[in-house]
């Protein structure tokens, strides 16, 4: 891919106008929505968009509406220059939308988007306002870009499920592509929040992947009792001294309803704090 410098646009209306002209030319548009602090997981989504679409748009916006009071909105890493350098090195990203909060939520903004069903458990239980904030910003991004495809990471499995449901329920003309988790060499799923981990906590963090591997192994050995699998996962995670488990779930991959027995497709999801850093991970059982 030929290296090009992305055009950075802060005004959503300007980007909409530019992309409307591109659509009139019959070109397809891929959208990669991010909050910045890009890593190889994000760049894998960019490459997927480049392989399937004529034009790739990356949004970089730390969205305030998906953070609850006391969460890490203020300290979430904002490194736009570094992000742009990474995108330039990958090449093939035509536009970056990098708005300020006032550009996305102007004075008087008072719209809400709530997606039911898949939001009621897991992250929805621990972060009750989170998915409403995700839904409203992603719907706005879809409308701004008029994208043919949007590329999401499997690491945020429930978030991807919420966005897929929003697309179905609201008949949005965009195809959602959920791309595989990208991991560090020791198995830790890449995340912008990994930077919060101290060196000792970083050494403990791969326990999440080891617990998921254990679940896969037990299921492959015909253990079907979900409670037993979760018990063994919990025992393993608790060997990491800095760990605190928010949840371990074995669920239906579509509805995210909890399963008592694993007899077909499933998804194993977990959220664990290592020190003060909250990490999520998952594996899909085919």
Distance of CA 16 to the CA centre of its chain: 24
Q: Do residues 93 and 6 lie in contact, with contact meaning Cβ atoms separated by under 8 Å?
A: yes
Q: Counting beta carbons within 10 angstroms of the beta carbon of residue 282, is it exposed (0 to 12), middle (13 to 18) or buried (19 or more)?
A: buried
Structure tokens at 55: 């034009």
Catalytic residue among 39, 42, 114, 231: 42
The question of whether 39 is a catalytic residue gets the answer no
118 φ/ψ angles, rounded to the nearest 5 degrees: -70, -10
**Gap between the Cα atoms of 32 and 46, Å rounded:** 6
Q: Is 60 left (phi over 0), alpha (psi -120 to 50) or beta?
A: beta
**Gap between the Cα atoms of 266 and 279, Å rounded:** 20
Q: Which residues are catalytic?
A: 42
């Amino acid at each position: 891919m030929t290296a090009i410098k992305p055009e950075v646009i802060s005004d959503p209306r300007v980007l909409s106008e530019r992309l409307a002209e591109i659509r009139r030319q019959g070109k397809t548009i891929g959208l990669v929505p991010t909050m910045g602090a890009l890593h190889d997981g994000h760049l894998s989504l960019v490459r997927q968009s480049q392989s399937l679409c004529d034009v790739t748009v990356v949004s970089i916006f730390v969205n305030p509406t998906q953070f609850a009071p006391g969460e890490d909105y203020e300290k979430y890493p904002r490194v736009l220059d570094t992000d742009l350098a990474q995108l330039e090195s990958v090449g093939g990203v035509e536009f970056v939308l990098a708005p300020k909060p006032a550009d996305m939520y102007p004075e008087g903004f008072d719209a809400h988007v709530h997606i039911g069903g898949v939001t009621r458990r897991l992250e929805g239980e621990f972060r009750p306002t989170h998915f409403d904030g995700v839904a409203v910003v992603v719907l706005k991004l879809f409308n701004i870009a008029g994208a043919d495809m949007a590329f999401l990471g499997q690491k945020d499995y429930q978030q991807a499920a919420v966005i897929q449901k929003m697309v179905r329920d609201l008949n949005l003309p965009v195809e959602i592509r959920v791309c595989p988790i990208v991991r560090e060499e020791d198995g830790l799923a890449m995340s912008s929040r990994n930077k919060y981990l101290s060196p000792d906590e970083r050494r403990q963090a791969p326990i999440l992947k080891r617990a998921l591997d254990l679940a896969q192994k037990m299921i492959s050995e015909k253990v079907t009792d979900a409670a037993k699998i979760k018990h063994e996962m919990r025992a393993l995670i608790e060997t990491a001294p800095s760990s605190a488990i928010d949840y371990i779930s074995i669920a239906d991959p579509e509805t995210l309803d909890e399963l008592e027995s694993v007899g077909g497709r499933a998804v194993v999801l977990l959220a664990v704090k290592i020190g003060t850093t909250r990490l999520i991970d998952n594996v899909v059982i085919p």
